Amino acid sequence: MDRIVEFKDGSFLISDVDHCPLYVSGEEFVLENGVLRLPQHKPTCLILAQDLAALTSSGENARKVKAHGRSGEEIFNCAGCARGMIRFGYKKTRGFATTQMQMLAEAKQKRKFTEARIYFKLLRTIKVFSALSDEELLEMAGMLDFVDFQPRDVIARKGDPGVNLFILLSGSAEVMDEKGIALDEISEGDVFGEMSLLSGDRVSQTIVAAGPCRAGILDKDRFRSFLNRYPALQNYFYKLLVDRINEGNRRRGDTLSSGMVGQLTDIAPVELCQMVNSSRKTGRLNLDYEDSIDGEKGALLFNDGEVVSAELGELQGQEAFYRILSIENGRFRFIPGLSRAESRLQPLGGFMALLMEGAKYCDDENEEGFESEEDLL
């Protein structure tokens, strides 16, 4: 229910980010004695500044402000821009606590930027960051969390959700198989974990510290913010994803020519779609899944590898495609060829863009499901 609220000293904490190019979840905007402090070393969004000015102004403007949620848990959406928006909440705090927390946050951020400068020359040599200016690279480095690992510490474990990008800043690490045998070495300056973030797949390899080492870690929200802000890097990572998908899937694409049947527990919908796209096949991918409601079935139509139609029960188009990507149990069958009418359909969108948005949709669905389980407990 909407309410009229007035604000004094306190903080606005970002709780959710939808493609915002500047800010990430957990960052805070502090109001103290009429002065608004933004996250340190972050540019100012004029749209958000106007929103907060309206929220914190007195008189007529304040009386027009409406909040959503229960009393004491006011939640707001920013006005948004062409690229994204954020949701933030207001938390009333005592002045002393607000000042103290702000000082601690600023000190922590200052330490991070000091460390970022130490590794700046190394980051400058990494190919993926070559498109960034020195100022942009330093800002990106300030988004990293710096973590130390001891010998034999597991940095990333096969099968875990892919939620971090890693940059090895010092020392070395090893790629290990299930028997603990080293398959490959990761050296200073190597980047890993990005493929899981891009595709939404789980971590494909276990990475173990070979000795004392330090890694810069960029979590999922900051990685998304990072890509949204720098389109050149977005293009680089998309191309990297395409190249790696093609390398593996070309070997299996020929099996699609004569049709293919299987279980979704063996090949997930994301991987199936990647196989069809990379091998540029034309046909229908039918899906019957075990958790369907009233026998709902899914179908994806591909023309030269591009998704031109998606259906799941009553859902159509992109929403149906995103939902299909989240299916975990059931059967699939690929049938080569389309009718003349079907072959005239236009793609639902760029394949990699659809895949990335689908990965975000699956993440959001998983997070909502997890929150619901917590509510039940």
pLDDT 10s digits, 184-195: 899 999 999 888
Q: Which of 66-70, 99-103, 167-171, 192-196 ranks highest by mean pLDDT? A: 167-171
Residue 94 lies in a domain: yes
The verdict on 132 and 194 lying in the same domain is yes
**pLDDT one-digit tens code per residue, 71-82:** 445 677 887 777
Is the predicted pLDDT of residue 251 greater than 60, yes or no? Answer: no
The verdict on 262 and 317 lying in the same domain is yes
Determine the pLDDT at residue 109.
Answer: 62
Q: List the CATH number of the domain containing 133.
A: 2.60.120.10
pTM of the entire predicted model: 0.51
Is the predicted pLDDT of residue 309 greater than 90, yes or no? Answer: yes
To the nearest whole number, what is the mean pLDDT of the chain? 76
Residue 181 lies in a domain: yes
* Residue that has been written with the tokens 């070395």 in this structure: 172
The verdict on 163 and 273 lying in the same domain is no
Residue 237 lies in a domain: no
Is the predicted pLDDT of residue 342 greater than 90, yes or no? Answer: yes
Residue 220 lies in a domain: yes
Determine the pLDDT at residue 60.
Answer: 41
The verdict on 365 and 305 lying in the same domain is yes
The verdict on 258 and 372 lying in the same domain is yes
Residue 64 pLDDT class (50, 70, 90 cuts): very low
Determine the pLDDT at residue 93.
Answer: 54
Last residue of a domain, one of 106, 139, 155: 106
What is the extent of the structural domain holding 177?
Answer: 119-229
Last residue of a domain, one of 74, 106, 138: 106
| Stronger pLDDT, 73 or 296, i.e. the higher one | 296
Last residue of a domain, one of 196, 229, 262: 229
| Stronger pLDDT, 101 or 270, i.e. the higher one | 270
Determine the pLDDT at residue 217.
Answer: 93
The verdict on 307 and 372 lying in the same domain is yes
What total number of domains does the chain contain?
Answer: 3
The neighbouring-strand residues paired with 252 are none
Is the predicted pLDDT of residue 97 greater than 70, yes or no? Answer: no
Mean pLDDT on 127-147: 85
The verdict on 200 and 293 lying in the same domain is no
Determine the pLDDT at residue 147.
Answer: 93
Mean pLDDT on 338-343: 92
Residue 112 lies in a domain: no
Residue 236 lies in a domain: no
The structure tokens listed for 211 are: 């000795």
Is the predicted pLDDT of residue 256 greater than 60, yes or no? Answer: no
Determine the pLDDT at residue 40.
Answer: 61
Distance in angstroms (rounded) separating the CA atoms of residues 66 and 35:
22
Residue 234 lies in a domain: no
Residue 113 lies in a domain: no
| Stronger pLDDT, 233 or 9, i.e. the higher one | 233
